Chains A and B, each alone.
Chain A
Amino acid sequence: MSVKVRRIKVLIVEDQPIAAMVTHAMLLELGHHADVAVDGKDALEKYPNSYDLIFMDIGLPDMTGIEVTAEIRRLENSQKHTPIVALTAYTDQELKLACRAVGIEEIIHKPANRETLKEVIVKYCNDKSILTFEK
């Protein structure tokens, strides 16, 4: 049995090139479109492109993924809510609280495998407008 998910547009916010490369490759394999932002400033510049899902690294060079998310939520102003999932190597409890406070849906720990990414996409992007695109 396979789940049919529409082709979505994902923003990967990640400063480490290797990590970005792997996540990007996995998302392309799953049949989706993915852009990469290399820091907070880049993420906020790319955000207006309108994404179905954002994978947010927390440890960025210019600001934390928490601050980037807070700014995105501010820009959204309750008019929309882009699913933002933290994809991070930070595993502590303090991060959980901070993520909840800014409206991050959940935390995925690095390394994430393709199945985990797929589950996240199905969970947050599997809405009624499903096309019969399948991978």
Chain B
Amino acid sequence: MSSLEPFLRGGGTDFERQLLSAVRGERPSARQRRRMLRGLGLSSGIALWAATAHAVVTGATGKLVLGLGAAAIVTFGALPLVRERAAARDAAAHSAAASSAAVSAPVASAAPPADIVVEPATVGDESATASAEAANGASELRAQIELLDTVKAAVNRKEGAEALALLARFDERFPSGVLRSEARTLRRAASRLPFDARR
């Protein structure tokens, strides 16, 4: 098996390589990618092209945070987790993508995913100021993540009042937080819970 080479690297006829080359670069179109991201609740601003985003600096609590690179800011959208039946409803509301009925599907273009935008950073180049701002941004992001994790834990325990109180704290501390859409999603989940007696 180790002696076998893919046809595109040798061994295939010109015609075979022509066929294979045509499909090799096929990718989801920009529209299809947006649809997948929406269905997953991921922002189209996700830094899919990680050349500029330095990922994963472990914080003091051991949780993962995203370090900000010199040239990119990663924006987060809400990630509503839906199950398959709910996915059909929600995805339909967003993009009608959940239906598996016959869809007239054009052949996807091989255009690069230009719609996935890595928003230009305000951090600038690698000056001391830029580094400090990046560190502050990562620190605030970590704080948002930690607070929302406690909200989620309260929701898991079915303590609606506790969860909503934590969310109020989130709104106060991070009025422009990048995870506010996730906070909204958690608020909806907490609001559906029976309130406990604690306040």
Decide if A and B are genuine partners: no
